[in-house]
Each structure stands twice: as structure tokens, then as C-alpha cells.
Amino acid sequence: MSLTLLEASKLSTDTLLSGVIETIAQESPVLQRLPFIEIVGNGLTYNRENAAPTAAFYDVGDNWVESTPTFTQATATLRILGGDADVDNFLKATRSNIQDLEASVVQLKSRAVQALFDDCFVNGNALADPNSFDGVERLCDPGQTVSMGAAGASLSLAKLDELIDHVRGGKPDLLLMSRRSRRSLNLLARSSGGFLEAGRDQFGNMLQFYDGIPIGLCDYISDTQTVGASTDCSTIYAMQFGEGGLAGLTAPGGLTVERVGSLESKDASRVRVKWYAGLALFNTVKLAKLTGVQP
């Protein structure tokens, strides 16, 4: 069974932990939607579906031809993500009438954890940094890549539709892009005589949709990628979440907030925000990317 962070927080009776989860998810369109599967152990070895089996019509007496799906065995390893937040006891005792100092410090640390996860979700490279996990840039199959051209080109609605069509078994659950790409998409929508659909997320923030698909903004998708001779390119990702698509992995208990307690070396207490997390893609057709997107 998989649950998003927000759904998991509803099962927690720890108010500090619930506040940390809400802080982490509030500014991350990925963490608002990405389901996490609890696993026992430090990793998960699974079969990633590459090609579906086929079927055929047969006449009476024909020999039946066996067809099976093809898989690639993949391994996703849990990584240790988190940080410590120290709260000065003097400031806590003398300033808490103005502001809950501990809550403020933990909130800032929670945002740092969220920023690191969002960065790794896109750009994570376990070869370059063995302490991190592979992000969607590395998980995306080469056959699921749509290109704007050998040297990139300005975004077009036709190419965006092609990207969406590369995700099979239903529409993508999220289009993840940079702010510049979202501005280009807004311009295209206005130029065609319309506007992107709009709504609100569970926190009341404005949310835009393209063809009914939520648009998520990620500050860790670079707008200075090199494609051919161009150095001003970006990437847009389309993804479908779930246990048969793209899912997060977490140790039992998920994200935790641990009170380490008083420190020996200074007059302060420490709170540790930690998470044993990873990312797995169970089917290659559930993730696609559009490369070479220029302004």
C-alpha cells in the first residue's frame, strides 16, 4: 500500500511531525502527489516492465504463439536524507513569548529537506553521489524522450501534446517544468486565444492545468542545459504516479522528527529531521521528458 506524505501525516498523532510534513509538502508539487511505498530493508529489487505481451486472432487448429512481457531488473536503494536543527535554550526561554522559536527553526530545516528532495527527484545521480538516489532525469528511458530539435527550439503545443502521448495507460498525473517553461506555455495558450485552466491545490494555492493535467513548478530544472550548439535549453517531464508507475520508497514510519535532546557542548537542544527515502520507476511508459525547450 502506498500513501502520499499528506495522507500519512493524517495518521500521525505527533503535532510536530504533522507540521513538518505539511511544511515539506506545501511548496512541492511532487511531494503533494508522489505516493510512498514502505519497504523493509535498505532497498528494493523489482522488475521494471519494458514491453507488454501481445495477443492475436487464431483459426481452428492453429498453433498458438506464446508472448510474454519483457522486464529489466532494477534496484532502488533507500538513502538517508535530513538535518539537525539546534534551538538555543536562552533564546527559547526569553523569546518564545514573541514567536515559537523551536517551531520556526524546525520549519526552516524542513524546507531545506524539501528543497534537497526536490533537487534529487529531478537531478539525482547515484553514480556521481553514492549517498543520493537516481532522479527522473536518469530514470527516464531513452525511448521516452521527445526532442524539440538537434539544437532545441521554442516550446510548441504540438510537442507538449506529443510528450503527454508518450505516457501510456492514462494521462500523466503531473507536468513538471521550470518557471520559464510555464511562462512560455502561458504565452502559447494566450496566443491560441485561450488560457490555461486554473484551480487550487489542497493548501489553497493557485494551480494551473494543461489538458486537465496539473502543472508543477520546479526550481531545480535548469534553463541553461546544452543541446547541440544551444546552451539555453530546459526540460519538461510528464509522469504518472503509483505502484505501477513512479513511486517513492520509504522505510517503515516514513519521515520522522527525533528529539535528540540537550547538547553537551552548548546550551541548546537538538531536533533531527530525517528520512530514509528513495525513488522507483516500475514501468518505463509512465515517465517521459521533452528536451531542448528554449524560451
Q: What is the pLDDT of residues 206-226, one digit of tens each?
A: 899 999 999 999 999 999 999
CATH number of the domain residue 13 falls in: 3.30.2400.20
Distance separating alpha carbons of residues 80 and 133, to the nearest angstrom:
10
Distance separating alpha carbons of residues 151 and 72, to the nearest angstrom:
32
Q: What is the pLDDT of residues 218-252, one digit of tens each?
A: 999 999 999 999 999 999 999 999 988 999 999 98
Question: What's the pLDDT at 49?
Answer: 76
Q: What is the pLDDT of residues 3-51, one digit of tens each?
A: 776 666 565 556 666 666 777 777 899 999 999 999 888 888 888 877 7
* Residue of 48 and 279 predicted with greater confidence: 279
Q: What is the 3-state secondary structure (H, E, C) of 176-228?
A: EECHHHHHHHHHHHHHCCCCCEEEECCCCCEEEEECCEEEEECCCCCCCEEEC
User: In sequence order, what are the residues at sequence separation of 6 or more whose Cβ sits closer than 8 angstroms to the Cβ of residue 140?
Assistant: 237, 287, 288, 289
Predicted model pTM: 0.87
**For residue 265, is pLDDT > 70?**
yes
- State which residues form the domain around 151: 141-240+287-294
Residue 66 lies in a domain: no
Residue 56 lies in a domain: no
Residues 17 and 102 in one domain: yes
Residue 59 lies in a domain: no
Reference 173, options 134, 140, 210, 199; nearest CA is 210
Q: What is the pLDDT of residues 89-117, one digit of tens each?
A: 888 888 755 457 777 888 888 889 899 99
Share of the chain above pLDDT 70, in %: 92
Residues 175 and 262 in one domain: no
Residues 226 and 255 in one domain: no
Q: What is the pLDDT of residues 104-158, one digit of tens each?
A: 888 888 889 899 999 999 999 999 999 999 999 999 999 999 999 999 999 999 9
Residues 189 and 231 in one domain: yes
- The label of the residue with cell 494551480 reads 207
Reference 181, options 201, 203, 152; nearest CA is 152
Q: pLDDT band at residue 72, thresholds of 50, 70 and 90?
A: confident
Residues 14 and 87 in one domain: yes
Residue 208 lies in a domain: yes
Residues 11 and 119 in one domain: yes
CA 233: distance to chain centroid? Answer: 21
Question: What's the pLDDT at 10?
Answer: 60
Residues 146 and 109 in one domain: no
Residue 109 lies in a domain: yes
What is the Cα gyration radius of the chain? 22
**For residue 264, is pLDDT > 70?**
yes
Residue 277 lies in a domain: yes
Residue 252 lies in a domain: yes
Residues 127 and 260 in one domain: yes
Residues 268 and 202 in one domain: no
Residues 229 and 250 in one domain: no
**For residue 1, is pLDDT > 60?**
no
Question: What's the pLDDT at 8?
Answer: 60
- How many domains does the chain fold into? 2
Distance separating alpha carbons of residues 21 and 190, to the nearest angstrom:
36
Residues 155 and 198 in one domain: yes
Residue 63 lies in a domain: no
Residues 163 and 263 in one domain: no
